[in-house]
Amino acid sequence: MKLITAIIKPFKLDDVREALSEIGVQGITVTEVKGFGRQKGHTELYRGAEYVVDFLPKVKIELAIADDMTDQVVEAISGAANTGKIGDGKIFIVNLEQAVRIRTGETGVEAV
């Protein structure tokens, strides 16, 4: 199993969710996060004084999937979240040791 974590632009969340549903992903977890990458922050103006917004708002999605889904999922996310402009985000993939569905006690691929 793999745990996929993707950081995307907030306005792309709906597109990514739809793309993942289409390829049969059963569930994702979404968090509003802030951070910076190569896009850095940007400056805003208030009463004549500039101030730097160091951390930009992003959305983090996390999903656990079977190994054979990995390529499909990565393709779906990067296809849906791509705008071609700086700040589109990243996808991280790590091996997942175990998963447990709390209601039934199922484990492994059955649980994701």
Partner 1 sequence: MQDQIFHLQYAMDTFYFLVCGALVMWMAAGFAMLEAGLVRSKNTTEILTKNVALFAISCIMYLVCGYSIMYGGEWFLTGIQDVDVDSTLADFAARDGGFEGGSIYSGASDFFFQVVFVATAMSIVSGAVAERMKLWAFLAFAVVMTGFIYPMEGNWTWGGGSVFGMFSLGDLGFSDFAGSGIVHMAGAAAALAGVIILGARKGKYGPNGEVRAIPGANLPLATLGTLILWLGWFGFNGGSVLKLGDIASANSVAMVFLNTNAAAAGGAIGALILARILFGKADLTMLLNGALAGLVAITAEPSTPSALGATLIGLVGGLIVVVSILTLDKLKLDDPVGAISVHGVVGLWGLLAVPLTNDGATFGGQIAGAVTIFVWVFAASLVTWLIIKAIMGVRVSEEEEYEGVDLSECGMEAYPEFKK
Helices and strands in the chain, H and E counts: 2, 6
> Per the structure block, which two tokens stand in for 74?
């990565």
Q: What is the nearest approach in angstroms of partner 1 to the Cβ of residue 33?
A: 12
Q: Are 33 and 7 in contact (CB under 8 A)?
A: yes
**Least distance in angstroms from the C-beta of 36 to partner 1:** 19
Q: Which residue has the tokens 């289409």?
A: 22
Binding mask 15-44 for partner 1 (x = CB under 8 A): -----------------------------x
Residue 84 lies near partner 1 (rule: CB under 8 A): no
Binding site for partner 1 (CB under 8 A): 44-51
